[in-house]
Amino acid sequence: MIKAVRGFKDILPGESEKWAYLENLARKFFLSYGFREIRLPILEKTELFARSLGEATDIVEKEMYTFIDRQKESLTLRPEATAGICRAVIENGLYAQGKILKLFTIGPMFRHERPQRGRLRQFHQLNAEVFGSNAPGTDAELIALALDILDAGGARGLRLEINSLGCPVCRPAFREALKKFLTGLREKLCEDCQRRVERNPLRVLDCKRQECQSLYVDAPRLEDFLCPACKEHYLSVLKDLETLNITYVKNPRLVRGLDYYVRTTFEIKAPDLGAQDTVAAGGRYDGLVKALGGPDIPGVGFAIGLERFLLIAELPEDLSPPLDLFVAALGEEARRLVLPLVRNLRRHGLMVDLDHEGRSLKAQLKQANRLRARFALIIGEKELQEGKVLLRDMTTGAQEPLAQAELESALLKRLLA
Ligand code: ATP
Ligand code: MG
């Protein structure tokens, strides 16, 4: 038997309703916050990710699904959405000077990581990005949006962690200070961090190993190095959050895995998730669009991981609604009689099903029960001859005869009530 690829999961009926529920909920919030949907290819040129994420990131170094296609071009299954959205914004000229562009997208991402709870190789994200706004209010609004979506999905006990990564003006000094701090610790660091010290020292702060993290407790803090403009920006974001009654925790060691982040960076954590506790993450990437060959427009956004969201979501009990009506037609003549009726009722939005297999009445009523039908319509030979049908209330068992003439309107009246 051929099995699915490791880390790639089927989303089966029973689960898929939950996915649809959360996606619809997110969609509503995106629209109410003024975002419009963009749908992107899942395949991009490898160079796009190498350029935008940075060569010395976990994703580019070891997590991408990259292959050479038949034209000998290197292509990559997208590991995240922001790079593709930036590419599309530039390529399609979506940006006009002075215009704010708010985009969202929902879909799968691919990273070759070790699969475990809350970590897959194909996973799914809800993404929101805003282009053209430098204003700290935009950052706070995005954080509010992410929290509102998670909250509406029933996620509780969330913890918002926030930091500012500074900008190309102030970050170099921090980088140097951090490098200096790290040289003393060199031997004690994990292999990955040792490499990071040279190539991308900020990234050590993102190391997943507790041993490393405990060494970084006394590391220099980004906040102490922020230039006045970055400092003011950061304080304004925090002030907006306070105005919105959003609780936050400043985390001076919060850096994002991706190189292009500047200033605001944040993560939303859910303690119930265990080791993979970050359900959403985001931040500002002001230089990215320009670095990809576009105009110099700022950007800020976030991604919510849908698998992790599902693990902490509180969903309504029954997401697959019961059937409105099961039509039990006995015999071919009866079945033919109800075919157009069933179709018309469905076209009115009612959930209706029927049996094409010629099963017995008993079997059909059993099927109706299994589908949790509110009503069953019974039409056998006797009913055919008498020009009527029986409408059975499946909860009470009460049966009511209905005339075959005007049957559709009689049913609509009862079922739509
Ligand atoms: P982590 O530290 O958990 O590896 P990350 O920093 O790589 O996360 P981001 O690139 O910021 O993650 O992605 C944003 C969100 O997407 C994460 O907070 C998480 O909810 C989700 N996510 C990332 N990688 C995976 C994965 N392999 N499986 C499931 N969800 C994921
Ligand atoms: Mg990761």
Give the residue-averaged pLDDT of 326-339. Answer: 94
Q: Is 278 in the pocket of ligand 1 (CB under 6 A)?
A: yes
Is the minimum distance from the CB of 276 to ligand 1 under 6 angstroms? yes
Q: Is 305 in the pocket of ligand 1 (CB under 6 A)?
A: yes
Sorted by sequence, the CB contacts under 8 Å of residue 360 that are 6+ apart come out as: 330
pLDDT of residue 256: 76
Higher pLDDT, 1 or 212: 1
pLDDT band (50, 70, 90) for residue 145: very high
282 DSSP β-pair partners: 266, 302
Around Cβ 140, how many Cβ atoms within 10 Å? Answer: 24
CA of 348 to the centre of ligand 2 (A): 46
User: Relative to the CA of 115, which ligand 1 atom is closest?
Assistant: 27
Cα of 7 to ligand 2 centre, how many Å?
14
Which pLDDT score, from 0 to 100, does residue 208 have?
80
Mean pLDDT, the chain, as a whole number?
93
CA–CA dist 10, 120 (Å, integer): 12
pLDDT for 259 equals 64
To the question of whether residue 248 is assigned a binding role by annotation, the answer is no
Which of 365, 367, 369, 370 is CA-nearest to residue 390? 365
CA distance 161 to 238: 11
- Given this model, what pLDDT does residue 342 score? 97
- CATH of 325-415 given 3.30.950.10, 2.60.40.10, 3.40.50.800, 3.40.190.10: 3.40.50.800
Of all protein residues, the one whose alpha carbon is nearest to atom 28 of ligand 1 is 119
Closest Cα to atom 24 of ligand 1: 119
Q: Of ligand 1's atoms, which has the minimum distance to the CA of residue 280?
A: 18
Q: What is the dihedral of CA 407, 411, 414, 416, to 10 degrees?
A: -140
80 lines ligand 1 (CB under 6 A): yes
Torsion sign, CA atoms 157, 158, 164, 165: positive
How far, in Å, is the centroid of ligand 1 from the Cα of 308? 9
The rounded distance, in Å, linking the Cα atoms of 167 and 191 is 28
Dump pLDDT digits (tens) for 239-271: 999 999 999 999 988 987 666 789 999 999 998
E strand or H helix at 90: helix 82-91
Domain boundaries for CATH 3.40.50.800 within the chain: 325-415
Question: Which of 278, 279, 304, 306 has most ligand 1 atoms within 8 Å of CB, for mutation?
Answer: 278
- What's the confidence (pLDDT) of residue 255? 86
Predicted pLDDT at 365: 95
- Please write the tens of the pLDDT for every residue from 45-100: 999 999 888 877 788 888 999 999 999 999 999 999 999 999 999 999 998 878 99
Output b/e per residue, 72-103; b: 16+ Cβ within 10 A.
eeebbbbbbbbbbbbbbbbeeebbeeeeebbb
Banded pLDDT at 197 (limits 50, 70, 90): confident
61 lines ligand 1 (CB under 6 A): no
Instruction: Please give the average per-residue pLDDT across 102-114, as a whole number.
Output: 97
**How many CB atoms are closer than 10 A to CB 303?**
21
Comma-separated ranges of CATH 3.30.930.10 domains in the chain: 16-170+226-312
Q: If you average pLDDT over residues 133-147, what whole number do you get?
A: 98
What value does the mean pLDDT take over residues 101-119? 96
- Quick one: pLDDT band at residue 328, thresholds 50, 70, 90? very high
User: Would you place residue 198 in the very low, low, confident or very high pLDDT band (cuts 50, 70, 90)?
Assistant: confident
Q: Is 117 annotated as a binding residue?
A: no
Residue 121 near residue 5, CB atoms below 8 Å: yes
How far apart, in whole angstroms, are the C-alpha atoms of residue 130 and residue 148?
17
pTM as predicted = 0.92
Does 256 carry a binding-site annotation? yes
Residue whose Cα lies nearest atom 25 of ligand 1: it is 119
What number does the ligand 1 atom closest to the CA of 79 have? 10
| Share of residues in the chain with pLDDT > 90 (%) | 75
Residue 344 has pLDDT above 90, yes or no: yes
CATH number corresponding to 16-170+226-312: 3.30.930.10
pLDDT of residue 258: 64
Whether the predicted pLDDT of 183 surpasses 80 = yes
Relative orientation angle of helices 136-152 and 228-243, to the nearest 10 degrees? 40
> Measured in angstroms, how far is the CA atom of residue 56 from the centroid of ligand 1?
17
Residue 60 pLDDT: 85
Determine the average pLDDT of the residues in 192-210: 83
Distance from Cα 355 to the centre of ligand 2, integer Å: 49
Region 164-176 average pLDDT: 91
Residue 171 · residue 225 · CB < 8 Å? yes
pLDDT in tens, 225-238: 999 999 999 999 99
Task: Report DSSP letters for 375-394, one per residue.
Answer: EEEEE-HHHHHHTEEEEEET
